[in-house]
A and B are shown apart, each in its own frame.
Chain A
């Protein structure tokens, strides 16, 4: 459905994309994961025909976006990072304009009404866009992408700047739309990609670091768990107690919080929850545990994990082949 073949993009002397290739099949919800400035938006802007590539090929439903852009664009609905709205228009007027812009042939009123119901903006159809909240504006942006019922939907960071409730609503909406469309969603938020996507392409500094099913990402992030614990008691004895707990791989002091307690970073092995044995060991020695929190894995950690997992698998396959 979507194919990128060895796409390069230079901005003057800077190389934003360094020959990226990936595919999304029909029905996929593909997560495009990477930190800010990784090249996600550039790749999506090329895919949707907003930018041209310096080299390479990009296809939508078998049609080249560079050779036949008008036909390719008919198959894509795009929500850029900033929804492309006209604040001086009413929601209904705006969607009607997009309907005309896309040369849509479906029955106008019914089509727009259905979309408004799916994205839950029917109640604001008569309101000026400039008077809408950010969450509603994002929904209107998604609604315009849905006009013409395109096979492919491309959402560039659709949840940035929204409040937690709105984020959950938009994620659920993307999952719902994924039943009928091929979706590419870019994000720099790891849990978002985990929750919504079926495949993930990880991009960093213009190169693809990993292109894996979501299960592989889940495996990668379920590696050693890290906890930050605030414990009262003498540092040396607490460390001795921690090192005696078999579930704990390592423990280090990260700083003194106040006169009594010291913060430690504790790392346990894959798939082992060290919280219970940690609590029991400290309780037995009489060292109060006054705080415990999990440390979320950074994107950089995930890149390293994914790449090492990939290498492990490649080595495994090579050994089997021998």
Chain B
């Protein structure tokens, strides 16, 4: 598994995709940061910045995972991985962890933005830290969705569009919470990625939300493994 992780991680920076992802992520994030904080100059706007960033993740993160499995399938290099003494689970987790590492590294670089706030005001670093942590787990979930879609097809574009659609649907569920029927609201709040982000905007580290994100990510990775197993038996 570690060999696959290492090769995948290196692969991101052999091809331009790693650089393009990093550049686009930092540019979009920088723009949102500037609009939401530096230009507005209020504390509450940091939460807005994070919310908008989650929407940006919906488009950016599938770009990172779209090639992970589909390209191997297209070029038949997956035959090497699947006939080597590594389990399908190990192969998928190796690829997933590589994309997660790139994302985490870029997110960490992006965090340097907040040092700017120190100059202009009195930022609540507890809130910022908890939000960043939550964003990391939301990103981890989106990457798992991307890996799942990449396992379904050998067309990288379809893998990307499929995961973007599903992520947007998962985010859009949040708008159903305006419905006045209480059990619907309760159910939506329970499954909504954005609703589960709310406690973090107050600086609260909500463990149940983190467990939720990790569990849903694990489900998508498990589904990707099942897709491979099913193909093997088909």
Contacts and interface: CB of A to CB of B under 8 A. Distances in A.
Interface of A: 11-12, 45, 48-52, 70-71, 73-74, 76, 78, 80, 82, 84-89, 97-98, 100-103, 144
A74 B76 contact: no
Given A84-B77, A97-B3, A48 B83 contact: yes
A78 B83 contact: yes
Contacts of A11: 234
B198 interface: no
Nearest to A53: B233
A50 B83 contact: yes
Contact of B85 (A52, A74, A86, A88): A74
Contact of B76 (A70, A82, A88): A82
B154 to A, nearest CB: 14
A101 B82 CA distance: 11
Contact of A100 (B3, B79, B233, B234): B3
B87 A85 contact: no
24 contacts: A11-B234, A45-B79, A49-B82, A52-B232, A70-B86, A70-B87, A73-B83, A73-B84, A74-B85, A78-B83, A80-B79, A80-B83, A84-B75, A84-B76, A84-B77, A84-B79, A89-B7, A97-B3, A98-B80, A100-B2, A101-B3, A101-B81, A102-B84, A102-B85
A71 B86 CA distance: 10
Contacts of B2: 100
Given A50-B83, A70-B85, A84-B75, 5 more contacts: A45-B79, A73-B83, A98-B84, A102-B84, A103-B85
Contacts of B3: 97, 100-101
Interface of B: 2-4, 6-7, 11, 14-15, 75-87, 232-234
B22 to A, nearest CB: 18
A51 B11 CA distance: 27
B7 to A, nearest CB: 5
Scoring A12, A73, A101, A144 by chain B CB atoms within 10 A of each residue's CB, the highest score goes to A101
A14 to B, nearest CB: 11
**Top 4 closest pairs, chain A to chain B, by CB:** A100-B3, A84-B80, A48-B83, A101-B3
A97 B79 contact: no
A88 B18 CA distance: 14
Given A82-B76, A84-B78, A76 B234 contact: no
Contacts of B75: 84, 87
B79 to A, nearest CB: 5
Contact of B79 (A50, A98, A102, A103): A50
A101 B2 CA distance: 8
A48 B78 CA distance: 13
Nearest to A99: B3
Given A70-B85, A73-B85, A74-B85, A101 B11 contact: no
B225 to A, nearest CB: 14
A86 B14 CA distance: 11
A78 B14 CA distance: 26
B15 A101 contact: no
Contact of A78 (B6, B15, B79, B87): B79
Contacts of A85: 77
Contacts of B83: 48-50, 73, 76, 78, 80
A86 B82 contact: no
A198 B227 CA distance: 40
A7 to B, nearest CB: 14
Of the listed residues B79, B80, B233, the one surrounded by the most CB atoms of chain A closer than 10 A to its CB is B80
B232 A101 contact: no
Contacts of B77: 84-86
A100 B8 CA distance: 13
B82 to A, nearest CB: 5
From B75, B82, B85, residue with most partner A Cβ within 10 Å: B85
Contacts of A51: 232
A100 B9 CA distance: 15
Contacts of B14: 88-89
B82 A50 contact: yes
Contacts of A71: 85
A42 B153 CA distance: 21
A101 B76 CA distance: 17
Given A50-B232, A97-B3, A88 B11 contact: yes
B1 to A, nearest CB: 9
A80 B76 contact: yes
A78 B82 CA distance: 11
B129 to A, nearest CB: 36
B69 to A, nearest CB: 14
Contacts of A45: 79
Given A101-B3, A102-B85, A103-B85, A52 B233 contact: yes
